[in-house]
Amino acid sequence: MTQIVIAWAATTPAISADSFPQLDRPALAHLRTGFVEVGQVRSDWAPDPQHPHPKLAKPHRVLYGITLIGRLFEEGTLGRVGRALEAKVAVAGERPPGF
């Protein structure tokens, strides 16, 4: 049985095929799945109510994505699922203005 775990990823501009270091499993990291409008600097660490993050002058469109984690020796399955998701969400070709 094929199993794939989907995990949130702090996304960078490039997809990478890698080994998920904590589990020693193959992974397809930083698969772009969409964008969010952010109006305030944020952190995924526990926020400090005494020191809130600053607000931005104008909202920024920020990329977000997922990481697919698979079973050993099933890198091909990860690739097929990644390509299917990429086609479905249709954000892989989007670029910031000026690029």
- 81-94 pLDDT, tens digit per residue, is 988 988 898 887 77
Which residue type sits at 61? R
Q: Are 9 and 30 in contact (CB under 8 A)?
A: yes
3-state DSSP assignment of residue 86: helix
| Chain segment 22-79, per-residue pLDDT in tens | 667 788 877 888 888 888 877 666 677 888 888 889 988 888 888 888 888 888 888 8
Of 69, 56, 60, nearest to 20 by C-alpha is 69
pTM: 0.66
> Based on the number of CB atoms within 10 Å of its own CB, is 34 exposed (0-12), middle (13-18) or buried (19 or more)?
middle
